Chain A
Amino acid sequence: MWEILDLELVASGLRLSTPLILAALGGLFSERAGVVNIALDGIMIFGAFGGAVIAYETSNPWYGLIGAMMLGGMIAHIHGIASIRYQADQVVSGTAINLLAIGVPAVVANALYNSTTVTPNIKLILPIIKIPIISSIPYLDVLLGKYSVLVFFAFAMVPISWFVLYKTSFGLRLRSVGENPEAAATAGINVYLMRYYAVWISGILAGLGGAFLSIAHGSSYVNNISAGRGFIALAALIFGRYTPKLTLAGCLLFGIADAFQIRVQGVIPIPVQFVQMIPYILTMVVLAGLIGKAQVPAADGIPYEQMK
């Protein structure tokens, strides 16, 4: 039992937390601007599907990555139009995107490849990068030795997001429309535009998170590839109290829990189904303990209507 608790577990956790980090950072931008983005899971599925199809058709995973970003951005934009322009209930709009993500990829995959559940394997996945000096140091090589390029990108996005949100005028405007949109509008900020930007960025990042699953961690799209990771990312965001650093901690916790459930299967005499529940149970425990304590942006989920 104890032999599974090694550095490989942490390395695997880092790898599995990558889609969570990307999606959670996406959610962070959206929620900070006052738009609840429960559609993260659906956007991840669309990103994974779009990425896999484009990477397969062009034989180039990078085109898949760019395609996933574009598709993620556009799907999030649908959520944005519904919830910002038409002031639809943001949870309902997000749920509709999640439901679309169950059906649309299946229909398109069936039309393209005669299969509703999988796309063909891509020949080339995103490159795995070895850090030259670290990969020759005994223990660090296991921990930080070689990861997909998207893993490094995801971890780099944490300080970048922090910088954008807290150190730029764009971040200040974005947070202000999430806290008090009326005051922001009085100060001359275009609330709609800032919210659209936030939702668009969240879609791009969630799309990248999905693409990681299909063209970096795996080599094809399979039905429901995200397996609820978008919702876990939301939990990590609440765990992180809507700040990038703590959100990263939440994602690492869930990623390592996911790695643990994979490694523990067959090691302890418990049915696999119960072991697979570990990350989801952890999500519920964390949410039950922290949901009241998290400082939610004041205008989160409240539609803004411009005064005429």
Chain B
Amino acid sequence: MFKLLKITTIVFFLVLLGDVSGFVIKPMAQETNKLEEQSLMDTNWDEEGTDEEDTVSAESWQEEDTVEASEEDNRAMGILSKADLEKVEAEEKRIHIYGFLLFAIYVLGCILTAYMTRNKRIATEYPPELLILLHTVWPLEIIIVLVMGIKK
């Protein structure tokens, strides 16, 4: 039975790791964007191609595709395009699935830890106050039980 508890603990940490990697990658991506922004800031804009400006002014703006313009407007106004919305929804779904898994495993872990350790040294030789505190942070309790020995 104690094996089940160990497996639950490992699964808990794996799910936690999986979820945490989700919001560790995001700040990293933001950092990369920042670097790109910085490289743009380093550019000497005074010397930047004035020739291109001429070509831009020579273009017929009435024929320009209005879709692109509206997408840019939307972005400027903070309105998300369909692709962006799908991306956000997928991210939310990921958060909810991982979150629910974590919640379920935490609750299961609380019950299993209380049940499995009821006759262990940690439950019989130490004050009950400590035991309850440890049940609240049960992954830590499993580690302590493993270190202290799991025998009765």
Contacts and interface: CB of A to CB of B under 8 A. Distances in A.
Interface of A: 58-63, 65-66, 69-70, 73-74, 77, 80-81, 85, 124, 127, 149, 190, 192-193, 196-197, 200, 204
Nearest to B133: A77
Lowest 8 A-B CB distances belong to which pairs?
A62-B99, A193-B128, A73-B136, A196-B132, A127-B96, A196-B128, A200-B132, A192-B128
Interface of B: 19, 23, 92, 95-96, 98-100, 102-103, 106, 110, 114, 123, 128-129, 131-133, 135-137
Given A70-B137, A127-B96, A197-B114, A62 B102 contact: yes
A159 to B, nearest CB: 16
B95 A62 contact: yes
A93 to B, nearest CB: 15
A85 B99 contact: no
Contacts of A62: 95-96, 98-100, 102-103
Contacts of A196: 128-129, 131-132
Contacts of A200: 132, 135-136
Given A60-B23, A70-B137, A127-B96, A65 B103 contact: yes
Contacts of A59: 23, 95
A91 to B, nearest CB: 21
A149 B137 CA distance: 24
A66 B136 contact: no
Contacts of A63: 99, 102
A80 B96 contact: no
B131 A60 contact: no
B95 to A, nearest CB: 6
Given A59-B23, A62-B103, A127-B96, A190 B129 contact: no
